[in-house]
Amino acid sequence: MTSLPEPASVNAAVDVAGLVQTLDRELSAASPAEIVATALRVVGRDRLAVVSSFGTESAALLKVTADVDPAIPVVFLDTGWLFAETLAYRDTLIATLGLRDVRSIQPLQETLARADPDRELWLTDPDACCRIRKVEPLVRALAPFRAWINGRKRFQGAARAAIPVVEEDGARLKFNPFANVSRADIEAIYALAKLPPHPLVASGFASVGCMPCTSRTTGTEDSRAGRWRGRAKTECGIHTTKTS
Ligand code: SF4
């Protein structure tokens, strides 16, 4: 990977599009660990964050990143509507993986008081609810960072079916180390590292987000079918809105 840029050039952000193109080409067949290690090398730990929901598959990416460097900052969006099991799972994984810098980010109280005083926005306007509880907090949380890592997979289909390994997020870089992995690869990471499952998996939740917008799935359904069930909505917006 001799053509990869040096840290100074990444942080100068002279040509984000060109940089993304180079990194995506160089990392197209790389392993998740190689992608995380490269992101760390070219961006630097102080400028790189992992964004994790601490959901049903999150431990795999957190394990990979912790093996590279457990001090990489991890941003966790605590929307105020999460299951208690997810908050407990966050704490379990922090202890299990030795994560040293997990930042639980909450929506601004003044925004909630103004835009969602009755906590019914998830029902009346879920896009607006996701905007104030996820997208805006993420934009704030990512302000100090030059690049972020997330756990989306192509096998999840829909808008995720064609994600690149590295993409442009405004002036920021976005790394998708699991773009190429299969469900079996994820299961293998869990098995090999003996990672604890999310507590709600045993009761039929294949994918876990906020309480009002998450339901169980049957064995034949897509894993994300229980998210915003009955609505056209399939994404919360953090991956479809530029963070810078
Ligand atoms: S997933 Fe549901 S409850 Fe959570 S922020 Fe979005 S609309 Fe609101």
Note the pLDDT tens digit of each residue in 110-158: 999 999 999 999 999 999 999 999 999 999 999 999 999 999 999 988 8
Residue 241 lies in a domain: no
**Are 202 and 209 within 8 A, CB to CB?**
no
Residue 161 lies in a domain: yes
Residue 104 lies in a domain: yes
Find tokens 């030059």 and name the residue.
Answer: 146
Q: Phi/psi class of residue 173: alpha, beta or left (left: φ > 0; alpha: ψ in -120 to 50)?
A: beta
Rounded average pLDDT over 87-112: 98
Question: What is the total count of domains within the chain?
Answer: 1
Site residues for ligand 1, CB cut-off 6 Å:
79, 81, 122, 126, 129-130, 133-134, 209-210, 212-213, 236
Residue 39 lies in a domain: yes
The CATH number assigned to the domain holding 101 equals 3.40.50.620
Confidence grade of residue 2 (pLDDT, cut at 50, 70, 90): very low
Residue 228 lies in a domain: no
Compute, in angstroms, the gap from residue 192 CA to the centroid of ligand 1: 33
Compute, in angstroms, the gap from residue 176 CA to the centroid of ligand 1: 23
Give the residue whose CA is nearest to atom 6 of ligand 1. 130
Find tokens 């994790």 and name the residue.
Answer: 52
Residue 65 lies in a domain: yes
User: Model's pTM, two decimal places?
Assistant: 0.93
Residue 102 lies in a domain: yes
Residue 216 lies in a domain: no
130 classed as catalytic: no
- How confident is the model at residue 129, as a pLDDT? 97
Closest alpha carbon to 90 in 78, 80, 81, 79: 78
User: Does 241 score more than 90 pLDDT?
Assistant: no
Q: Which domain holds residue 126?
A: 7-195
Rounded average pLDDT over 206-223: 90
User: Does 167 score more than 70 pLDDT?
Assistant: yes
